Copies of this chain bind each other. A is one copy, B any other.
Amino acid sequence: MRTIFWKDCLWLIDQTKLPEKEELIPCRRVDELVEAIKRLAIRGAPALEAAGAYGVALASFEREFSGLEEIRQYLVEKAKLIASARPTAVNLSVGVEKVLKRALEGNSIEEVRSIALREAERVAEEDIERNKKIGGNGAKLLEDGDVVLTYCNTGRLATVDWGTALGVIRSAVEEGKKIRVFACETRPLNQGSRLTCYELMKDRIDVTLITDSAVGIVIKKGFVNKVIVGADRIVRDGFFNKIGTYTVAITAKHHRIPFYVAAPKSTFDLSRTSEDVVIEERGAEELIYCGDKLLAPKDVKVYNPAFDFTPLELVSAIITEEGVIYPPFNF
């Protein structure tokens, strides 16, 4: 099943419910989609690209319009709202733009709608094709018997299907290589334990869960020999990804094991450097509570950035749908 798809309206797997249950939620209005994005019911840079794309289609269907100008203006307005639902991932606005640009070329309300939906479906299809290409390119870097450490979730749940960094592992396994995985839990929202373990176990790929802080010991003990992560935004001097990626990269470098990044070209934003990107800060409650359990004093001060930046000097290779890029990274 795809993470996001259109059937009469837009449907998403509510990832906040996993691994307890795989629940589909319908979005019939842009507001519902934006809320779902904000509360991370859907997350992962490539999945957000599809969400952005489908969001524009959703805007075209969510109400009646009296004329062409009205639907065009409405789409432009809603496109901004969707694109700004989360500030760090570039893919959300890439998806929005892809569909908006074409949809505005429609010459009737009906044409705008059908173009928007067709283009959104194309974005979703292309994501899957692209991920399979990333997987195929990256699989060449994995050998039979490798044990790969991964961070956060970069699997089918982070994309429309297949995954980026996990897609590389999937492709290697599909080629017949025996690959084992160590998954970091990825605090504070535990995408690693909740989503990555869930996906890999479903696919019968051998996975061991560790705390984020156990990265040092598992690398030192030689339990893992390679690291693969995804990326939310690749800029000229490095890349942004889930908070903690940077610490993993430093640890991999210290032990001289390869540290690979797998991401589609749409993640590249080479007009910018790390200085130009705002890192989203999320609420204190993500660290203070876990479900109903109180993990810290209620009024404690918290610094909770959603992402961190890893400079290129810690990266061994970047795997994209077009091939593998090695240092020096002459983008």
Contacts and interface: CB of A to CB of B under 8 A. Distances in A.
Interface of A: 19-20, 182, 184-188, 190, 193-194, 197-198, 201, 206-218, 220, 223, 243-244, 246-251, 253-254, 284, 287-288, 290-297, 299-305, 308-309
Nearest to A310: B216
Given A220-B246, A246-B220, A211 B187 contact: yes
Given A206-B301, A209-B284, 4 more contacts: A20-B294, A212-B244, A214-B247, A215-B247
Contacts of A284: 209
B213 A244 contact: yes
B187 A213 contact: yes
B296 A216 contact: no
B300 A214 contact: no
Contact of A247 (B216, B296, B297, B305): B216
A217 to B, nearest CB: 4
A190 B295 contact: yes
A295 B220 contact: no
A26 to B, nearest CB: 25
A298 B215 CA distance: 22
23 contacts: A185-B296, A186-B213, A188-B211, A193-B287, A193-B295, A208-B301, A209-B287, A209-B296, A211-B243, A213-B213, A213-B247, A213-B248, A214-B247, A216-B246, A217-B305, A217-B308, A217-B309, A220-B308, A220-B309, A223-B303, A290-B293, A291-B293, A292-B293
